[in-house]
Each structure stands twice: as structure tokens, then as C-alpha cells.
Amino acid sequence: MAKATQITVSAASKPGVLAKVCEALGKAGVNIVAVCAAESAGRGKIRLVVSDPGKAKQALAAAKIRSAEEPAVVLSMEDRPGALAEVASRLAAAKINIKCAYASTAGGGRAQVVLAVPNPDKAERALS
């Protein structure tokens, strides 16, 4: 498990917004490790875990894209039924709210899961 700073961008949900964000990061040499883009009521929220959060914030500001930060944890875990339920249950038992979760698998029996939580240190203790 790794603690991470997640970059968030709130913007209108329209064509090209995600492209503009990704282009700004790419030109700055910032790698996107994980991304979640969701839409609700015409507004979009993009959450990104990146290789260099400070450099990402600078690149987005230079591109006139407002962004914020929020704490998260990134878990590499077994890709099997019930694995995420176990993690979520342990965090719930420790009274830790999961604000946002997204995941991916690339085969090989492992999954990468990003959990936005208010206190990554407490989450780390609950999951160790």
C-alpha cells in the first residue's frame, strides 16, 4: 500500500476536457498512474494519481486548469472475488470513509485500487 496525493479537476462535462488535462500533464512529463473521470448533472470530476503531484499542479495551472489535491491510498491486491469487500470492511470497522474508489486489472491475478480517504495514515494502520 502506498499513500498518494490525488489531483482533482472539476469542470464542465464536454468534449475535450479530459484531453486538455492529459495533454497538459503529458507536455510536462507527468505520467498518469491512475485516472477516474465521472459526470453528474453536467459537471465532470477528474481524479488522477500521477508520478509527480507538484509538477502536475504547476502544469495544470499553466494551462489555466484549476485543480485541487486530496489524500488517497493505492493498493496492489489480489484480483479475486471478495478482496475489495475485505478491504472496505476493514476500513469501515476503523470508521474510515471511502470518498471515492476506482480500480484496474491487467491480468496476472493482481488489481490496483485507488481509495480516496480522509486519513491515509489511519487507513494504512487499519489495513496492515
Which residues on neighbouring strands pair with residue 102, listed in sequence order? 114
pLDDT value, residue 1:
87
**pLDDT tier at 26 (50, 70, 90 boundaries)?**
very high
The burial class, CB within 10 Å (0-12 / 13-18 / 19+), for 95 is exposed
CATH architecture entry for 71-127? 2-Layer Sandwich (3.30)
Task: For the chain, give every domain's residue range.
Answer: 2-70, 71-127
CATH architecture entry for 2-70? 2-Layer Sandwich (3.30)
- pLDDT, tens digit, for every residue of 44-65? 999 999 999 999 999 999 999 9
Whether pTM > 0.75 for this model: the answer is: yes
**pLDDT tier at 123 (50, 70, 90 boundaries)?**
very high
14: cell is 464536454
Which residues on neighbouring strands pair with residue 100, listed in sequence order? 116
Spatial contact of 97 and 82, defined as CB atoms under 8 Å apart:
no
CA 112/CA 79 separation, integer angstroms: 9
**pLDDT tier at 102 (50, 70, 90 boundaries)?**
very high
